[in-house]
Amino acid sequence: MALQKLLFIFGTRPEAIKMAPLITQLRQRPDRFEVQVCVTAQHREMLDQVLKLFDLRPEYDLDLMTAGQDLTDLTCRILTGLKPVLAKSRPHRVLVHGDTTTTLGASLAAFYAKIPVAHVEAGLRTGDRYAPWPEEMNRKITTAIADLHFAPTERARQSLLAENVPDSQIHVTGNTVIDALLAVVGKVRIDAGMRDLLGQQFNALDSEKKLVLVTGHRRENFGVGLENICQGLLRVMERFPDTEIVYPVHRNPSVQNTIFQFLGNASEEVRGRLHLIDPLDYLPFVYLMERSHFIITDSGGVQEEGPSLGKPVLVTREISERPEAVAAGTVRLVGTDATRLFDDCERLMTDPDFYSSMSQAHNPYGDGRASERISDILREVTFQ
């Protein structure tokens, strides 16, 4: 049987994490697939960390990251950058992931070149085109272009059916992020030397204190939203002196300016338990997730990863494109209201039954075999 030539196109760290196990799986079948990778590098440094961790060497690197570029600039550069790549690679199919600007641009570039598109992590919806922004619309446009949709859950499948996507094009596979997470956790658990190195990296943390891991980068939370989150975190630190917070601060200046202004002015005692650090590689981030008591985030991926590790997740958003986790009880939406955030943190700190109800709830995002399922489906796909 002739080889099916596949071109993966992605540009951010989350995409790389979620595509890596699928690329690895497909490359284990060289009799069926020829796999190439193109990165746009819309997140240069954070992307490179994951490429190194999963030993991925892109055949094409557009290196499009520039300071201060807006969505229009980035989308235009992705389209023009991919045109010669697609002409040279001539893949039978392009694979994109999720909801990034790279996903949107790559799907459109493939459409212009009349190359079929497969969408990994398809069908996530909030129903609000501006939340998350621009991700919700990126997904919807990609759905309109793709002819093969790998939905992580049945709910995602139903969302696609509601938009008149043919049932024959939709496959429920689970989420590949669980594949990646379990692979990395397995490495850490069996490698004592790796655990020691990770422990040394965070030797400033007090093992006797409860650790709360915080992330935040969504555009819709910039400004007042982030300020309110900071106020809630300060209340938590003041109320619970046996608690430490680790906050890897995103490099976006709109995030950094707010976080360092509001949290950097905390009392000396609180600052001693508040660790504002640079963004982390995926491996140490997974280590901190495992070590944490619970997680506060606006990240989509962490809403899937935290429950897989038995960690309650408080989401600083009013609506989520991952409602399965909310329905399962592993995730709670607290928005950007400081009081709501503090109240749920307090319950997780003081109410063992509440904590248990979140930490032991069923994770709806899969069993770590999504990449295997997608590979099996692609093997049966015909192509021109």
Question: Does any domain span residue 214?
Answer: yes
Burial 127-154 (b: 16+ CB within 10 A, else e): eeeebbebbbebbebbbebbebbbbbbe
135 tagged catalytic? yes
What total of structural domains would you count in the chain? 2
219 tagged catalytic? yes
Which listed residue (219, 273, 293, 317) is catalytic? Answer: 219
Per residue in 127-170, pLDDT (tens digit) is 999 988 999 999 999 999 999 999 999 999 999 999 999 999 99
The verdict on 13 and 82 lying in the same domain is yes
Per residue in 237-254, pLDDT (tens digit) is 999 999 999 999 988 888
Mean pLDDT of 84-88: 98
The verdict on 246 and 297 lying in the same domain is yes
The verdict on 271 and 171 lying in the same domain is no
pTM: 0.85
Compute, in degrees rounded to 10, the torsion defined by CA atoms 233, 236, 241, 243: -70
Question: Does any domain span residue 384?
Answer: no
Question: Does any domain span residue 346?
Answer: yes
Which listed residue (15, 61, 135, 281) is catalytic? Answer: 135
67 pLDDT band (50/70/90 cuts)? confident
1 pLDDT band (50/70/90 cuts)? low
Residue type, 166: P
Question: Does any domain span residue 233?
Answer: yes
Question: Does any domain span residue 101?
Answer: yes
Q: Cα separations (Å) of 22 from 78, 304, 370?
A: 23, 17, 8
Which listed residue (97, 139, 149, 250) is catalytic? Answer: 250
Position 293 scores a pLDDT of 97
Backbone angles phi, psi at 132, to 5 degrees: -75, 150
The verdict on 297 and 374 lying in the same domain is no
97 tagged catalytic? no
The answer on pLDDT for 213 being more than 80 is: yes
- Name which of 330, 271, 338 is nearest 304 in CA terms: 330
Which listed residue (121, 136, 298, 324) is catalytic? Answer: 121
The verdict on 131 and 202 lying in the same domain is no
Q: Provide the token pair at 146.
A: 């793709």
The DSSP bridge pattern shows strands 243-248 and 210-214 to be parallel
Which listed residue (99, 179, 281, 304) is catalytic? Answer: 99
The verdict on 216 and 336 lying in the same domain is yes
The verdict on 374 and 329 lying in the same domain is no
Print the domain residue range for 235: 192-359
The verdict on 160 and 216 lying in the same domain is no
The verdict on 251 and 352 lying in the same domain is yes
171 tagged catalytic? no
The verdict on 221 and 252 lying in the same domain is yes
269 tagged catalytic? no
The verdict on 137 and 196 lying in the same domain is no
The verdict on 118 and 243 lying in the same domain is no
Question: Does any domain span residue 180?
Answer: no
Q: Which of the two residues, 384 and 47, has the higher pLDDT score? A: 47
Question: Does any domain span residue 184?
Answer: no
Q: Looking at residue 24, which CATH number applies to its domain?
A: 3.40.50.2000
Question: Does any domain span residue 187?
Answer: no
149 tagged catalytic? no
